[in-house]
């Protein structure tokens, strides 16, 4: 009886609430694209790119809003039609956009000041035909990294004297760029690569100073395992941790996580954490299947056999709090679809072409490490039927009070779950994104996204077709919703249940 009485109250104690909403009408005379950048407690930046059907040049409109979604300033920039956008980078005080003129070595950099909306542009000659993978800015220098003639390259361009140089020691065969990490406080540039050498995989960090001089080289190699990714957690200029995922053999299939301490340029023996050692990794499965998988893993271990997993992981940027380091990673699979044969002969043979059609996500893991690099807890959120054309971070994790709110968007709804380290304190809930006016309703959802903002606030944004009824086409708007998750009453439901039980002594 008590359970029946109190169960419906759970959502009232902890839920996602929509506090503010911004609606920007789309233009019928141009093709537009919409982006949102979180500026934390300073607000948000919206970017609308539009090209009039009668004009080849793109008009870029930048608008900064405060945390109540009130416009503070707006500015625009007309992009020369010869340039195409390549990548954007969000720095602390300014935003940067990289543009390239195809089939030439000419690049354009745009710098937007968050404070007043002022714009500066810089032109540079880099290299023609670079397949750009990363773009970052440190001080007054742009780092453009990617592949040139199938080899990795990192180009450093100075905005002030327009000089361009290539970082040494990277242009090697059979080498992949993993990440370009910048340490703005110490002025270091860390280039992380993954190389195939003599049937072995070598994970390497090359550290450069602000002027591009190679300072040190740190190599990680293990006879059993290969390091797929790694993020640096600096403790001081000569001391850091590296956290990432690893595989068995030179594959992209993750076997688990690893942590290693690096003193100067010498890594210590890594700590490998197989997925089966995580308490909650397989919780995304149905109970019977999970029991069978765990039983099979236990049998293999008892026979001294190594388990092999085939998980692909999208590892997020590490979350660092005062007490711990939190790793978030989504497990995904490429979606395949069948297509008709490109060329068909007179003999009937089952030639079936397969093409990539986005990515399907199954679950996300959240792992907490203490400041000494020791794994102290883990948890999992199940993702049901979520697909994305591009491989991108879908699950957002935000620390709120002593909890972590996990959320992801799907078909106009926000799915949430709240955890307290390795415990789930609020099961999965769904919340609809509503229009600004109560007299209207959402007729169609397109490209919904979610990102953490500041504190306990989230940003949900995308495109809605809204109208007073399902009759008629309605109108299209770009929307931004401010969402907050109330955690104040979490746990009080159980306290009320306990107090209501017969024989309870307060």
> Could you report the per-residue pLDDT of 407-460, keeping only the tens digit for each?
999 888 899 999 999 999 999 999 988 898 888 888 888 778 899 999 889 999
- Domain containing residue 174: 82-221
Across the range 202-228, mean pLDDT stands at 91
Closest CA to 281 of 312, 306, 256, 308: 256
Query: Do the domain assignments include residue 262?
Result: no
% of the chain exceeding 90 in pLDDT: 58
Question: Which residues lie below 8 Å from residue 70, measured CB to CB, with a gap of 6+?
Answer: none
CA triple 128-133-137, angle to 5 deg: 90
Per-residue pLDDT, averaged over 59-73, amounts to 96
Is residue 283 pLDDT above 80, yes or no? Answer: yes
What pLDDT sits at residue 354? 43
Q: Is the model's pLDDT at 212 over the cut of 50? A: yes
- What CA–CA distance (Å, rounded) separates 209 from 183? 10
Helix, strand, coil percent values for the chain (each to nearest 5): 10, 55, 35
Report if residue 123 sits inside a domain.
Answer: yes
Collapsing DSSP to helix, strand or coil, 494 comes out as helix
Residue scoring higher pLDDT (438 or 291): 291
Q: Is residue 52 part of a domain?
A: no
Whole-number Å distance between alpha carbons of 88 and 65: 19
Residue 156 included in any domain? yes
Across 310-338, average pLDDT: 88
What band does 54 get if pLDDT is binned at 50, 70 and 90? low
Query: Between 296 and 504, whose confidence is greater?
Result: 296
pLDDT above 70 covers a percentage of the chain that reads: 89
Q: What angle do CA 88, 364, 335 make, to 5 degrees?
A: 75
Q: Residue 429: inside a domain, yes or no? A: no
The mean per-residue pLDDT over the stretch 104-133 comes to: 94
User: Is there a domain that residue 158 lies in?
Assistant: yes
How confident is the model at residue 321, as a pLDDT? 86
Query: DSSP characters for 128-183?
Result: TT-EEEEEEEETTEEEEEEEETTEEEEEEEETTT--EEE-TT---TTEEEEEEEEE
Segment 119-126 shows an average pLDDT of 94
What confidence score (pLDDT) does residue 199 get? 74
DSSP string across 426-487? EEEEEEE---SSTT-EEEEEEEEEEEE-STTEEEEEEEEEEESSSSS--EEEEEEEEEEE--
Q: What six digits make up the tokens of 136?
A: 């970052």
Stretch 92-98: mean pLDDT: 96
What total of structural domains would you count in the chain?
1
Average pLDDT of span 89-104: 94
CA distance 41 to 44: 9
Q: Is residue 171 part of a domain?
A: yes
Predicted confidence (pLDDT) at residue 211 exceeds the cutoff of 50: yes
CATH number for the domain harbouring residue 107: 2.130.10.10
Express each pLDDT in 143-197 by its tens digit: 999 999 999 999 999 999 999 999 999 998 889 999 999 988 888 999 999 988 8
Residue 371 tokens read as: 């400041």
Name the pLDDT band for 254 (thresholds 50, 70, 90).
very high
Q: Say which range, 254-268, 314-328, 340-354, 453-467, has the weakest mean pLDDT.
A: 340-354
Q: Nearest-CA neighbor of 414 among 399, 440, 432, 387? A: 432
What is the rounded CA–CA span in Å between residue 73 and residue 83? 26
Strands 266-267 and 256-263: antiparallel
Q: What is the pLDDT of residue 53?
A: 61
- Whether 188 is in a domain gets the answer yes
380 pLDDT more than 90: yes
Give pLDDT, residue 168: 95
Mean pLDDT of 110-119: 97
Residue 14 has pLDDT above 90, yes or no: no
For 22-43, the pLDDT digits (tens) are 999 988 767 888 999 999 999 9
């Amino acid at each position: 009886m008590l359970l029946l009485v109190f169960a419906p109250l759970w959502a009232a104690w902890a839920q996602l609430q929509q506090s503010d909403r911004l609606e920007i009408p789309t233009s019928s005379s141009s093709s537009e694209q919409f982006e949102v950048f979180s500026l934390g407690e300073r607000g948000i930046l919206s970017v609308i790119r539009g090209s009039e059907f009668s004009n080849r040049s793109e008009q870029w409109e930048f608008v900064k809003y405060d945390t109540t979604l009130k416009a503070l300033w707006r500015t625009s920039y007309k992009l020369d039609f010869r340039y195409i956008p390549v990548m954007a980078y969000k720095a602390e005080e300014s935003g940067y956009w990289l543009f390239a003129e195809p089939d030439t070595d000419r690049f354009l950099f745009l710098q937007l000041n968050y404070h007043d909306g002022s714009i500066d542009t810089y032109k540079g000659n880099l290299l023609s035909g670079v397949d750009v993978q990363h773009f970052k800015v440190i001080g007054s220098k742009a780092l453009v990294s990617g592949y040139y003639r199938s080899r990795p390259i990192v180009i450093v361009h100075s905005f002030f004297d327009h000089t361009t140089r290539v970082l040494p020691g990277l242009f090697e065969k059979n080498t992949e760029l993993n990440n370009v990490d910048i340490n703005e406080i110490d002025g270091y540039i860390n280039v992380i690569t993954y190389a195939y050498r003599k049937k072995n995989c070598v994970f390497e960090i090359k550290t450069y100073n602000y002027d591009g001089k190679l300072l040190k080289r740190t190599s990680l190699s293990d006879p059993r395992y290969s390091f797929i990714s790694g993020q640096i957690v600096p403790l001081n200029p000569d001391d850091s941790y590296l956290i990432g995922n690893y595989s068995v053999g030179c594959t992209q299939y993750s076997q688990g996580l690893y942590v290693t301490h690096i003193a100067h340029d010498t890594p210590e023996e890594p700590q490998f954490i197989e997925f089966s050692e995580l308490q909650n990794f397989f919780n995304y499965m149905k109970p019977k299947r999970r029991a069978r998988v765990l039983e099979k893993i236990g049998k293999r271990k008892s026979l001294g056999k190594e388990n092999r997993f085939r998980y692909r992981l999208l590892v997020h940027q590490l979350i660092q709090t005062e007490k711990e380091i939190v790793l978030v990673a989504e497990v995904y699979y490429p979606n395949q679809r069948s297509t008709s044969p490109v060329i068909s002969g007179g003999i009937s043979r089952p030639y079936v072409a397969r093409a990539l059609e986005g990515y399907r996500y199954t679950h996300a893991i959240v792992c907490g490490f203490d400041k000494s690099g020791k794994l102290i807890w883990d948890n999992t959120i199940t993702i049901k039927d979520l697909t994305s054309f591009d491989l991108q971070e879908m699950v957002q994790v935000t620390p709120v009070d002593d909890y972590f709110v996990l959320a992801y968007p799907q078909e106009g709804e926000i799915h949430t779950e709240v955890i307290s380290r390795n415990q789930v304190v609020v099961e999965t809930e769904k919340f609809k994104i509503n229009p600004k006016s109560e007299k209207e309703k959402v007729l169609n959802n397109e490209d919904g996204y979610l990102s953490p903002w500041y504190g306990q606030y989230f940003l949900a944004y995308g495109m809605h077709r809204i109208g007073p009824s399902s009759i008629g086409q309605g109108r299209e708007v770009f929307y931004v919703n401010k969402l907050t998750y109330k955690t104040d009453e979490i746990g009080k439901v159980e306290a009320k249940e306990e107090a209501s039980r017969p024989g309870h002594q307060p």
